[in-house]
Amino acid sequence: MNDANLLYTDVETALQESVRDLLTDRCAPEKVIATYDGDRELQPKLWRSLALDLGLAGLLVPEERGGAGASAREAAAVLEELGRFAAPVPFLTSSVIATEALLRAGDDALLATVAGGERTAAVVVPFSTSPDELRATVRVDGQGALRGRVTSVAGAVDADVLLVPVEVADGVELHAVEAGAARITPVVSLDMTRQLADVDLDGASSTRVVEDGGDRAVRAALELGAALMASEQLGVAQWCLDTTVGYLRDRTQFGRSVGGFQALKHRLADLYVMTESTRTAARYAATTAADDDPDRHVAALMAKSYCSDSAVRAAEECVQLHGGIGMTWEHPAHLYLKRAKADQVALGNPQATRRRLGEVVDLPMPTT
């Protein structure tokens, strides 16, 4: 497990540069801020460029199944850039989580359309669900249609097709539902760059994607989501660090650069060290997932625990160290604070994650 390559390959660096160029061009902070005021003009075009022009939708899918044949490492590299821009696109929910569920479930027809970027998918669970506490609340009614309500679903707003874990007598099945057949109610979310929705299924017709072990597929998908979201959190932390350092270097008070005050220099030095550790944790989770290394489960839990908290700390420091401007709607710092805080809670909060990690590495929480 020590041989995992924790650096970036040339291919990954080139991929990051092309994503960064596109986002610099099309994903200006003021447009992202506008999504909070209900302006949803940015998303569809931006997502089409990323998914189709750059071909990112199918990164995780092997070529023979209609994808780009890259790996979790490249997907992580992309997420890092998306985090850096707080980009409001469904890459994590569709191209990572839903795609992984379909890869595991073996539905190649649907997979190919999602990989090709023609359709966008979302797994219908509350975004706060940790991979270890998946509960299916949707059931099949007497007519064979789906009934149930799932709240706070990420990616549903943008989805063409919903992947719904359905509780049946002997386990959990995974069903595909056309978005038009469900009632999708966008909710005002803490992080509007990944707006959540409540999904109501009032007798929706569906196709069964996987009969047995739907829960296994969804759990694996959520775990990969958490493992790679760490790279998004890295991108968030990196933006916060770079932006804060840049601002404090330029900002003058008391006749000198504020960045020269030692109290702040030390906080920024700590933030730098923490961000580099975040990179380590995120890269390790990505590379063990890519290699299907036996340590991938531990790596995912570590990354979720570490990177969730570090992104939040970086964003909170960013706001504080900007002073008044950091509190404004106009300055983009809040985009990162909201994204970081939402990511921390999503896919298993850090305390629950550490509790689970304790079981996995034989350091269990005492039973009282």
b/e burial code for range 154-185 (CB count within 10 A of at least 16 → b): bbbbbbebbbbbbbeeeebbbbbbebebbebe
Interface with other proteins, residue 368, by CB under 8 A: yes
Q: Residue 300 is encoded by which pair of tokens?
A: 């995912």
Interface with other proteins, residue 306, by CB under 8 A: yes
Q: How far is the CB of 350 from other proteins (least distance, A)?
A: 8
Interface with other proteins, residue 253, by CB under 8 A: no
Q: How far is the CB of 251 from other proteins (least distance, A)?
A: 12
Helices (H) and strands (E) in the chain, counts: 11, 10
Q: How far is the CB of 273 from other proteins (least distance, A)?
A: 4
Interface with other proteins, residue 325, by CB under 8 A: no
Residue 211: CB atoms within 10 A of its CB come to 14
Interface with other proteins, residue 1, by CB under 8 A: yes
Instruction: Please identify, among the stretches 5-13, 163-171, 216-224, 333-341, the one whose residues bind other proteins according to the rule CB under 8 A.
Output: 5-13
Contacts (Cβ under 8 Å, ≥6 apart) of 132: 219, 348, 356
Q: How far is the CB of 321 from other proteins (least distance, A)?
A: 12
Instruction: Please identify, among the stretches 98-106, 193-201, 264-272, 333-341, the one whose residues bind other proteins according to the rule CB under 8 A.
Output: 264-272
Residues of the chain by 3-state class (helix, strand, coil), percent to 5 = 55, 15, 30
Q: How far is the CB of 191 from other proteins (least distance, A)?
A: 24
Only one residue has tokens 């409540």, namely 198
Q: Residue 181 is encoded by which pair of tokens?
A: 């057949």
- If phi > 0 it is left, if psi is from -120 to 50 it is alpha, else beta; for residue 232 that is alpha
Among 38, 144, 324, 366, binds other proteins (CB under 8 A): 366
Q: Which is nearer to other proteins, 109 or 365 (CB)?
A: 365
Instruction: Please identify, among the stretches 1-9, 82-90, 192-200, 315-323, the one whose residues bind other proteins according to the rule CB under 8 A.
Output: 1-9
Give the three-class secondary structure for 123: strand
DSSP string, 185-237: EE---S-GGG-EEEEEEEEE--EEEESTTHHHHHHHHHHHHHHHHHHHHHHHH
Question: Of all helices (H) and strands (E), which one includes residue 342?
Answer: helix 333-345
Among 25, 53, 249, 294, binds other proteins (CB under 8 A): 249
Among 171, 213, 272, 349, binds other proteins (CB under 8 A): 272
Among 273, 294, 320, 325, binds other proteins (CB under 8 A): 273
Interface with other proteins, residue 349, by CB under 8 A: no
Interface with other proteins, residue 188, by CB under 8 A: no
The tally of CA atoms less than 13 A away on the side-chain side of residue 34 is 10
Q: How far is the CB of 307 from other proteins (least distance, A)?
A: 9
Q: Which is nearer to other proteins, 203 or 260 (CB)?
A: 260
Q: How far is the CB of 313 from other proteins (least distance, A)?
A: 13
Sign of the dihedral through C-alpha 83, 89, 92, 96: negative
How many chain residues interact with other proteins (CB under 8 A)? 43
Residue ranges in contact with other proteins by CB under 8 A: 1-2, 4-7, 245, 248-249, 256-257, 259-260, 262, 265-266, 268-270, 272-273, 276-277, 279-281, 283-284, 302, 305-306, 351, 354-355, 357-358, 361-366, 368
